[in-house]
Amino acid sequence: MILSDGFSAGRSDPDALWNALENGDYPFVTKLREAGFDLVLLGFDERSASILDNAAVAIDSSS
């Protein structure tokens, strides 16, 4: 599963994203992994950039 950060401005903070997903009210990362999913967190230099620009990051990351 690929989860992308993009709901604020500025550079992604992978540690903060992981912490929010795992250490909130529901251990989302743990539950995904227990269900057999691999997890990729995709961050951006500028989360508020155009969705097309940020989609290009995902495309570039896959090659």
Give the E-state strand segments of the chain in sequence order: 2-4, 40-42
| DSSP secondary structure code for residue 7 in this structure | S
Give the per-residue pLDDT at 59: 86
What CA dihedral angle connects 18, 24, 25 and 27, to 10 degrees? 20
DSSP reduced 3-state for 12: coil
How do the pLDDT tens digits run along the chain, 63 residues long? 999 887 789 999 999 999 999 999 999 999 999 999 999 999 999 999 998 988 888 888 766
What CA dihedral angle connects 16, 13, 10 and 7, to 10 degrees? -50
Give the per-residue pLDDT at 29: 96
Give the per-residue pLDDT at 63: 64
